[in-house]
Amino acid sequence: MIRCLAVDDEVYATKMIADYISKVPYLELAGTTNNAIEALTRIQQGDIDLVFLDIQMPELTGIQFLKLCGHQCKVILTTAYAEYALEGFEHDVIDYLLKPIAFDRFLKAAQKAFNIFNAAKHQDNPADHSLQAIDQPSYMFIKGESKNKFLKINFNDILYIEGLKNYVSIFTASQRLVTYQSLQGLEAQLPKPPFYRVHKSYIIAIDKIRMIDGHTIYIGEKAIPIGETYREGFLRLIAD
């Protein structure tokens, strides 16, 4: 789990970030604060991995905070002011979220953080393959049909995913779920393995394959084409 601290001088903003954190399985809310000095003290205790940090605060600006914080934790900036983005990235922040922050944009930033922390753990101890199993979530949330509705879906239930422009259909044994999102954006949230992109329009769960016949994959009775761009990588994957 990635232990998170939400820092913003506006109470509603920290509540929103806390709510978003609760929806992401590999994030854990360690606390919220509306005081930058209090946040800095908490970080110096060494139990915070990731800070969601506002830039415009009365005690310290987010940039001043970054300079004092050093590299004691990772930071995702949250602000209504786009002009600070370049300076933020110069301080090695993971991402820069512009308010108002949509959940799917928050999730994309969280996935970046997950990838960074996971890679660092493997670098520290490359022989310990159990780290991926411990940290990798077993589910995700996707947008529902209304603005503030999100549906939980277990990765193990997914058979394959089909993309069509800005919509994605997720197929399980019992249902088809449609969400407004790009296939590329959804791909970033999926664990690899078991999921693999085999075509510009399809992602499959490798463990759900019934048969491969030439350039076609069968999952149940569904025939899924293997795109030429993806064929070599896919065949190498299943041959290993």
CA 147 to chain centre: 20
Instruction: State the number of CA atoms in the 13 A half-sphere of 29 facing the CB.
Output: 16
- pLDDT reading at 85 higher than 60: no
CA separation (Å) from 139 to 15, 173, 192, 240?
A: 23, 16, 13, 26
Domain boundaries, the chain: 2-124, 139-239
- pLDDT reading at 89 higher than 90: no
Among 183, 177, 180, residue whose Cα is nearest residue 204: 183
Please give the pLDDT value at position 210: 93
Q: Give the Cα separation of 87 and 75 in Å (integer).
A: 13
3-state secondary structure of 40: helix
Cis, bond preceding 126 (omega within 30 deg of 0): no
Among 197, 192, 188, residue whose Cα is nearest residue 230: 197
For residue 15, the surrounding DSSP H or E stretch is: helix 11-22
Q: Averaged over 168-197, what is the pLDDT? A: 87
CATH label, 2-124, candidates 3.40.718.10, 3.40.50.2300, 1.10.340.30, 3.30.750.80:
3.40.50.2300
Please give the pLDDT value at position 133: 39
Among 160, 166, 225, 155, residue whose Cα is nearest residue 196: 160
Of the pLDDT bands very low, low, confident and very high (cuts 50, 70, 90), residue 121 is low
Return the residue matching tokens 């520290």: 124
Q: Give the Cα separation of 116 and 137 in Å (integer).
A: 15
Please give the pLDDT value at position 186: 82
Q: Averaged over 93-110, what is the pLDDT? A: 88
Tens digit of each residue's pLDDT (9 = 90 or more) over 11-47: 999 999 999 999 888 899 999 999 988 998 899 888 8
Tens digit of each residue's pLDDT (9 = 90 or more) over 126-179: 444 333 434 556 888 887 776 667 888 899 999 999 998 778 999 999 999 998
Cis, bond preceding 193 (omega within 30 deg of 0): yes
Of the pLDDT bands very low, low, confident and very high (cuts 50, 70, 90), residue 240 is low
Overall fold of domain 139-239: OB fold (Dihydrolipoamide Acetyltransferase, E2P) (2.40.50)
